[in-house]
Structure 1
Amino acid sequence: MPDSPARNTGAHYVYAELKRRILSLELKPGERIFEPAMAAALQVSRTPLREAIRRLISESLLEQQPTGGVLVPALDEKAVSELYDVRAAIESLMAREACAKATTADIESLAGIVERNAAMVQFADEAMKQGMALHAAIAGLAGNSWAQRFHDQISSQMERYRHFTNNAQERRDVALAEHRILLDAIAGGNPEKAAKVAFDHVIGARDEALRAISGSSLVIP
């Protein structure tokens, strides 16, 4: 069918844009998606919009209500805690496995990311990008495809919460110090230390996220 690629491209665009708005909190937690208004705003037909909505519902980034309405999920403290707990276990596993595989060149690459993190630690968005780059690089070194798959899924969900965890300069400084210790553990080939540092680092981010959002009207306690 000659128009199939166009439909696919349209659905992908709508999916990517809706996902961006959800994760950036541009679409507020609890906000309802009205199809006619959203289709008009995105300048697309209802068909690619509905395809994108179905996909986002399957990823738990939108919620289908019993009445048929579609909402952006509220920020849920229980879900926050569970996501970070699972990520802590996965990050710990990948840090342990990276120790056994990291070459001198790999260590130099990780060190470069940490130094860029240090240079940008005063800037919330840039510091977050470098932190994410470090964790992604360690995941790549670990080479565990299942851990990587679950890590990517969880990371996508957690995008909505990073806004709350990275705003405080104190937390960014602590995260940088933990990144340095993690790098030293991997460079020194110490899998037990690397695993513990990675686990504790994510749990620290969890606790900060819960503190930051606990008083928000957008959160389900």
Structure 2
Amino acid sequence: MAAFRFAWHPFFLSTSRQENAKAVFSKVLTYFSLAGTFVFLAISLFINEIVRVQIFGKPIFGEKYWGSTVIVPVIMLSYFLYGIYVNFLVGIYLKKKTSYLPLVTGSGAAANIGLNLLLIPMIGMMGSAWATFGAYFVMALLLYLVAQKAYFISYEWRRLGKIVIAGVVIFFLPEYFQALQPEGVKFLLLLGFPVLLALMGFFTRNEMQSLKRIIVRK
């Protein structure tokens, strides 16, 4: 995520001079969400296999850490929200509204502290994970409201909604395959993400044509 933020800043500053800058920024959020959701699903589906990968006969992560894999999806969602927050920085920097950033980050910190105090006694480490998620959600929401007022961008909410729906479906489907659980089923589910999006009409005609050209070249 740090690499994305490092590349994003000079990109949107240079792109802002183009006539279609806002359309480009909107597309970036859509494609970022698409890629981020795919990575989230890939790691979430295979996290139990990942932590058991062995090098020289020993697992990368000790057995005592295997039980903590339940928090990985929540932590990943938190950093995904941080990536969305970074996307929303466009208007803040272009319209020189950076004075709002301390308020936004401070609100996120306050939410994090409050949620930790509330949730950790109830659900332990999962509470801390959800507190992090809540903090980034608050930051992303507040930054969106401020940035849109300063520099309105028409984001592709319908397409973003389809990404969310498809991601939720694929994420929870393994619950119905508990008796099977082979890696092959999980791999098929992961491949089912773009297929489901295609069935939902997510991809535009130009995107489908570009995808076909890439496949043909390979």
Q: TM-score by structure 2 length?
A: 0.28
Q: TM-score, normalised by structure 1?
A: 0.28
